[in-house]
């Protein structure tokens, strides 16, 4: 996206006023054009979302995406899926196996849109300091309850831990407090906001 000299000047004025930083013309062009590209992507994403919502009027249960759409990550198991391998409804992108598990009420659809309702496999180590072997032990001893998601052939491919089924565990193993990490964009390859 090419910006006019006038737009570049306006961008420089805004950055100076808001951030107190004086950008050179080259820096302003670089950052300004990156910013515009970023918003173009956001616009594109929201247009795709709108188009899909419109399609729901005719297919209220949801639908497979078209060939060529994707790859995306399943909102539940994070597997990379695309085209006909995706089921889309208002709960977003799901692989077909996770969608089947939702349809069969193995897991509630609400978890797709609310990370606070469940704990993911990788969070045990990073958020609760629990090694995978300890997690398996906690499951065996009954403190931790998981809902196993199965493929068509019966093999377990992912486990979802619902918060409301693991209150006792959460009381015993409170979530570690996360350090606040601040990323500062420096250098001409990053957009400074």
Interface positions with Zn ion (CB under 5 A):
74, 76-77, 95, 98
Q: How far is the CB of 53 from Zn ion (least distance, A)?
A: 21
Q: How far is the CB of 85 from Zn ion (least distance, A)?
A: 10
In the complex with Zn ion, which residue's Cβ is closer, 15 or 76?
A: 76
Please answer whether residues 53 and 37 qualify as being in contact, where contact means their C-beta atoms are separated by less than 8 angstroms. Answer: no
In the complex with Zn ion, which residue's Cβ is closer, 12 or 94?
A: 94
Torsion of the alpha carbons at 96, 102, 104 and 105, rounded to the nearest 10? 170
In the complex with Zn ion, which residue's Cβ is closer, 102 or 144?
A: 102
Q: How far is the CB of 114 from Zn ion (least distance, A)?
A: 16
In the complex with Zn ion, which residue's Cβ is closer, 95 or 119?
A: 95
Beta bridge partners of 86: 95
Please answer whether residues 46 and 67 qualify as being in contact, where contact means their C-beta atoms are separated by less than 8 angstroms. Answer: no
In the complex with Zn ion, which residue's Cβ is closer, 31 or 159?
A: 159
Reported in sequence order, the residue ranges of 58-108 that DSSP labels E, i.e. its strands, are: 63-64, 72-73, 80-81, 86-89, 92-95
Q: How far is the CB of 77 from Zn ion (least distance, A)?
A: 3
For the chain, how big is the Rg over CA atoms in Å? 23
Q: How far is the CB of 103 from Zn ion (least distance, A)?
A: 13
Closest listed residue to residue 97, CA positions, set 145, 147, 144, 156: 156
Q: Could you give the count of Cα atoms lying within 13 Å of 99 in the half-sphere of its Cβ? A: 19
Report how far residue 161's alpha carbon sits from residue 159's, in angstroms, rounded to the nearest whole number: 7
């Amino acid at each position: 996206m090419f910006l006019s000299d006038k737009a570049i000047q306006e961008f420089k004025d805004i950055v100076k006023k808001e951030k107190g930083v004086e950008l050179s013309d080259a820096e302003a062009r670089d950052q300004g054009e990156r910013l515009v590209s970023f918003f173009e992507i956001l616009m594109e994403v929201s247009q795709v979302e709108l188009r899909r919502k419109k399609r729901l009027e005719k297919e209220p249960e949801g639908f497979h995406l078209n060939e060529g759409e994707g790859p995306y990550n399943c909102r539940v198991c994070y597997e990379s899926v695309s085209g006909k391998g995706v089921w889309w409804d208002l709960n977003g992108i799901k692989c077909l196996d996770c969608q089947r598990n939702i349809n069969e009420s193995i897991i509630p659809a609400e978890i797709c849109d609310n990370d606070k309702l469940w704990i993911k496999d990788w969070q045990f180590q990073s958020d609760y300091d629990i090694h995978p072997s300890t997690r398996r032990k906690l499951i065996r001893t009954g403190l931790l309850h998981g809902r196993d998601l199965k493929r068509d052939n019966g093999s377990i491919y992912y486990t979802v831990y619902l918060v409301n089924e693991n209150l006792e565990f959460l009381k015993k193993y409170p979530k570690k407090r996360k350090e606040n990490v601040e990323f500062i964009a420096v250098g001409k390859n990053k957009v400074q906001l």
